A and B are shown apart, each in its own frame.
Chain A
Amino acid sequence: MSGAKKIALTDRIGVAAIYAIGLLSLALLVAPSLIVVAISFDTRSYVSFPPVGFTFDWYAKLFATPELIQAMWVSLKVGLIVTGMCLALGVPTAIACVRGRFKGRQALSVFVLFPHMVPGIVLGIAILFAGATINARPSIGLQSLAVACFILAVMIRIVMARLMRLDVALEEASANLGATRFQTFRHVVLPLLMPAIWAGAAFTFIEGFDNISVAIFTHGHRDRPLPVELMSLVQNDNTPMVAAVSAAQIALSVVILGVVSSTLGLEKLND
């Protein structure tokens, strides 16, 4: 064994560098969230870091603020509607884009990604004006539609990626064993797409819940979603309650992704 595997110094430096970059990226991604969480427990009545004490007061105040609770319900509704719309439209579209045999299939699979490339604010204004022409006023419905339009591409991409890696031979085998097209979809394709569908649902729900760029132009005036409510809160109020609301939102996202990854395994999203 002696000296059998001596790792070259350059290799060790390389590995160390990769670790360093990885840790730095992770820190940059996570640190802001951690700071927000820390501030939300501060005892001072203005936002400042580092915190000097520990209290749940801001959370208590949060739950005692009816506008925030109301906004949370609105966002929850929007999240669910957006998820529903993206499932209903995204899954069939992804299947058509990958397995379809019609003219313009390639064009379609690029076209459906467009709304996601337009800046959210532009898309929001566009849908606001488009809605006005058919008398659709800003509302939970219009906001959901707009956000769904924005995030549909993500659902489609996730499902398409999974489908492209599904061996066509599985579907041929199913047909060969006597299954109709619907049976093949029901018993082979759908179960194997499930991890991707769950992942897509999680991402679209989170987007529906906390999108602001599109929502700010399309939300109903009496149905202000959480991010919009939060923004006006930040403008008028500088207490750590803002941080508490953000922390609650972060917690929700963590819970959703945690559930998805532990029941399906996040690694499954990649295969």
Chain B
Amino acid sequence: MDGAYVGLAPFVAIDGLTKRFGDHVALADCALAIGRGEIVTLLGPSGCGKTTLLRCIAGFAEPDAGRIAIDDTDTLALPVNRRPVGVVFQNYALFPHLTVAANVGYGLKMRGVAKAEIDRRVAEILALVSLSELKDRYPIALSGGQQQRVAVARALVVEPKLLLLDEAFNALDAKLRAGMQAELRKLIKRLGMTAIFVTHDQDEALAISDRVAVMGSGRIAQVANPIDIYDRPASPYVAQFVGTSNMLEARASGGVATLPGGIKLAAPISGNVQVLVRPQNFEILDASDARAGWQGRVTFGRPAGAIVEYEIDAADGTSFKIAALRDSPAGHLPVGAKVGLAVRDAGTCVVFEASS
């Protein structure tokens, strides 16, 4: 329900992971459990510790405390080159002096696999990522998307138990990115591979993963499936990081919080609370409409596909971010228009304790 890992012993179990650089705490007591065949994304702002967490798993960095187990094996005890982990690096880190085939075959060669067997497996994986024709090219002669597929093939061919991808789509343009995300997700699912993606792009996280772990300043703030992350964020931090949000102040007593306009919300706490209302959960009314909880003025409007995004400032100074369908009556409001606002559906609002 809250998207926590449910099932048998998790395939990847990270516990109490802590990493400091000097007195800067890059990872603070991180815990994450991942099931076999699951795709989890680490999502968070720049500098929150995503790469550090991946580097600890791969063995490029050593945590100060904590435990990482993959398939019931203590991974921290293994040297880098023996960890059952494949990494796709942010800028791919392809070996510039080796051809595509030699790049992909590198891991097998290092393991002493016979030449014929290497050739066979390299051909197989290159076919899988549709790169067979390019096997004799050098990385410099490949496009960004092709380089990424080589990097993925190189990591997959040694059959790791866990695939790690750090900002794997950053170097690609927006259109190619969407295509590669879908393609890579399909490939990973087809192979039954378990994977951790790192990104600071929430659309990417929502598109590619079974569950999302939202990180903030070295901590994992929430782990849940993409829909729950959006609909039921565990904290104001998550609410504000994922999607667009309006945080309204209100008072709660007797298990009920009341918003202007008479909207009543179930509140598990009393006192000052914050209420999350998503942009599409507002109704734009005439300024004189009695149902309106707020009166305001449009200060900005921007069409985005089928919807229009407005900024509306209320008389008390609160600024609202509102979305309306473009072919609705509220779809063409000029800047300066006076409107009334009401919350549509109390059920999709989320109540948090006010952060003093």
Contact = CB atoms under 8 A, between A and B. Distances in A.
Interface string A155-191: 0000000000001011011111111100100011001
Contacts of B81: 175-180
A167 to B, nearest CB: 6
B91 A169 contact: yes
B34 interface: no
Given A169-B89, A173-B87, A173-B89, A179 B95 contact: no
Contacts of A170: 93, 95
B96 A177 contact: no
A178 B158 contact: yes
B248 interface: no
B276 interface: no
Contacts of A179: 81, 106, 110
A176 B106 contact: no
Interface in B70-113: 80-83, 85-87, 89-91, 93, 95-97, 106-107, 109-111
B200 interface: no
Given A177-B106, A178-B107, A183-B110, A172 B158 contact: no
B93 A177 contact: no
A167 B93 contact: yes
A192 interface: yes
Contacts of B154: 173, 177
Contact of B58 (A176, A183, A191): A176
B60 interface: yes
A191 B90 CA distance: 23
Contacts of B86: 176
Contacts, number: 62
Contacts of A191: 97
B105 to A, nearest CB: 10
A178 B93 contact: no
Contacts of A176: 58-60, 80-81, 83, 85-87, 155
A172 to B, nearest CB: 5
Contacts of B91: 167, 169
Contacts of B93: 167, 169-170, 172-173
A187 B95 CA distance: 10
Contacts of B106: 174, 177, 179, 187
A67 to B, nearest CB: 47
A187 B106 CA distance: 9
Contact of A178 (B89, B97, B110): B110
B89 A175 contact: no
B80 A175 contact: yes
A177 B80 CA distance: 9
A192 B94 CA distance: 12
A188 B95 contact: yes
A172 B51 CA distance: 14
B86 to A, nearest CB: 7
A164 to B, nearest CB: 16
Interface string A20-36: 00000000000000000
A69 to B, nearest CB: 42
A187 B96 CA distance: 12
Contacts of B80: 172, 175-176
Contacts of A173: 87, 89, 93, 95, 154
Interface string B24-59: 000000000000000000000000000000000011
Nearest to A181: B81
Contacts of A167: 91, 93
A179 B112 CA distance: 10
Contacts of B155: 176-177
Interface string A82-113: 00000000000000000000000000000000
B277 to A, nearest CB: 43
Nearest to B55: A172
B4 to A, nearest CB: 30
B354 to A, nearest CB: 44
User: Sorted from nearest, which 10 A-B pairs have the closest CB atoms?
Assistant: A177-B107, A169-B93, A173-B93, A179-B110, A175-B80, A178-B110, A176-B87, A191-B97, A175-B81, A169-B89
8 contacts: A167-B93, A169-B91, A173-B93, A175-B59, A175-B81, A176-B59, A177-B110, A178-B107
Interface of A: 167, 169-170, 172-180, 183, 187-188, 191-192
Interface of B: 58-60, 80-83, 85-87, 89-91, 93, 95-97, 106-107, 109-111, 154-155, 158
Given A175-B59, A187-B109, 17 more contacts: A167-B91, A167-B93, A169-B89, A172-B80, A172-B89, A173-B87, A173-B95, A174-B106, A175-B80, A176-B155, A177-B81, A177-B110, A178-B82, A179-B110, A187-B106, A187-B110, A188-B95
